[in-house]
Amino acid sequence: MINLKNTKKAGLLFHTGLLLFSIAPALIALLLLLVAGTGFAISSAGGLLTILLVQIYGLLYEKGIMDNPIPLRLSFWTLKALQSVHAFARHTPEKMVVAMNNRKALSEAGRKFSSEEALILVPHCLQNHECPIRLTFNPDSCERCGKCPIGSLLDVRDRFGTHFAIASGGTSARRIVEKTAPALIIAVACPIDLSLGILDVHPITTVGVLNEWRNGPCFDTWVNTEELEAALELFLY
């Protein structure tokens, strides 16, 4: 099954980020109403209404009623600003984006995609550092020796008949998406690249799978291929 661990925590963080973001416009609304002479009570109500409207905006996105990820972006960048002063653990905002996106993607699982519309997009750090073959240009050059997960991922691709690509970075990933033009992306990456990529490729339906840092970040990473298979089985015809 698609990993949806800590989605309740992610939802709380999402709305916390929106709440913190809404404080500034709420204060502006309050001050403008005060200057207009509406009185403190009405001005305060205007400020509170601003906060409430932002939360409703976020709830509409969370429930899949509104597709635009603006609320997710606002919450993410607000939490990132707080992370800069160590208010959250490392990569907390990024993991929030991945969890919220995956939960929203599951609400769209009733729409089925063909295998030709799907792209499995993975980072080059999954490849074993001792491998002499440059797989970013031709993944099928992989000898499937088992020293890294690329061979297993290719097996998944062959089984489902999807597109498959290895990205060397964010720019490379964007080019691959533009060239392939998928309707569904199953993306593997670290929290930073995955969260930014999810926000970047909207409105393409995307399922994010975090890679495993068995040897530290961006070096001989790993991925649970069962999560990819679960997503493909859920979304494909």
Q: Tokens in use for 154?
A: 């290719």
Q: Rounded mean pLDDT of 226-236?
A: 91
Q: Is the pLDDT of residue 116 over 90?
A: yes
- What pLDDT was estimated at residue 45? 96
pLDDT tens-digit series, residues 151-189: 999 999 999 999 999 999 889 999 999 999 999 999 999
Q: Which of 159, 178, 78, 166 is nearest to 124 (CA)?
A: 166
Nearest in space to 52 (alpha carbons), one of 22, 76, 77: 22
- pLDDT of 6 > 80? The answer is no
Q: Is 10 exposed, middle or buried (0-12, 13-18, 19+ CB in 10 A)?
A: buried
CA distance 116 to 162: 6
The mean per-residue pLDDT over the stretch 14-30 comes to 96
Task: List pLDDT tens digits, range 41-62.
Answer: 999 999 999 999 999 999 999 8
Nearest to 99 by CA among 174, 217, 20, 14: 14
Phi, psi of 183 (to 5 degrees): -100, -15
Distance between CA 107 and CA 117 in Å, rounded? Answer: 19
- Cβ–Cβ < 8 Å for 101, 208: yes
DSSP letters for 208-230: EEEPB-BTBTTSS-B--HHHHHH
What domains, with CATH codes, occur in the chain? Answer: 7-97 (no CATH), 108-235 (3.40.50)
